Every structure is written in structure tokens, then in C-alpha cells.
Amino acid sequence: MDLKELTINLIKQEFGDLVLDIQFSGPFEYEDLDVDVVLKEMPENLLKRGARIHRYLRGKGFDVLIGYEPPFDEIDEATIEEQKERQIIETAKLLETMSKAIRLREAEKRTIKINGTVVDGKLVFSTNDSDGRVKVDGNEIITPNERIIVEIN
């Protein structure tokens, strides 16, 4: 039995039906194997149970790093909202950088303003000009009275 098979058997023996996924990487310079285990739920005695697996493998001469994590859908809503807010802020900064790069209209030598607002969790950009075209590096990004909506999923 190789190290991966042994590790899978030990994890399944210790955590049973809680195991959703097991992913491996390595070997690396300082460890024989790096293991990521996704569990349906995080049991209270996770550290104790994980330590049993680690001690057993260490006793067999293997240095295995095992990490445990909950499934993605159990990440709390506050964390997801924070990530969305960060993405909106980063997108707004990108828009600010883009607006600095907007070229003057050749005929009238004036700048077209881009407005950015957050509507229902979406960042919406629009021009204030009915006949101007906004270009960045020669590429048209917003045509007259058109809006760009950035959805953060």
C-alpha cells in the first residue's frame, strides 16, 4: 500500500461519512505529502482526531501535512459579503484608473465623464454624454448612453 492509499484509509477510518473530498500534492522538500480534506462539518474533536492520523504516519516514518476545511457553501454570508465589497472597491479603483486614461475627444477636445454607482449589489458605469464615445487606448468601451454593469458573484 502506498502513502496516498494509507492516508486515505486512515482519514476515512477516522472521519467516516464526514469526508467529502481528499486532495493531494507533493512530495515537497520538507514533507512527503500535503493533504487537503474537505469535511461535511467540522467536529469538535477535529484536532485530536487529526493528531492521531499524523502520529501514526509519523511513526511509520512519513512527514504528512494534513489540512481540514469545511465545504465552500458553509462559509458564512458575512465573509461572502466582505469579498463582494472588496471586489466592488477594486473594480471602482480600476474604473478610476481607466477614467484617467480616457482620451480627449479629438473634435471638441473635451473629456467624457464616467459615472459609477452601486445598484442592487452591482457596480454600474455610464457616460454623461449623449453623443460622445469613450475610448481607452483607442478601443471603444462605452458608446453613447450605454451602461456597463459589473456583477460580483
Distances (CA, A) of 75 to 22, 95, 119, 124: 19, 29, 25, 27
pLDDT digits (tens, 9 = 90+) for 115-144: 666 666 665 555 555 544 544 444 555 555
pLDDT for position 2 = 87
pLDDT for position 101 = 54
Q: Which residues of the chain have pLDDT under 70?
A: 72-80, 94-153
pLDDT for position 68 = 83
Architecture of domain 3-74: 2-Layer Sandwich (3.30)
Task: Tell me the C-alpha distance between 140 and 55, whole Å.
Answer: 61
Domain ranges of the chain: 3-74, 77-151
β-pair type (134-136, 122-127): unpaired
45 burial class (0-12, 13-18, 19+ CB within 10 angstroms)? exposed
Asked whether 83 and 91 are in contact (CB, 8 A), the reply is no
pLDDT for position 99 = 60
Amino acid (one-letter) located at 93: K
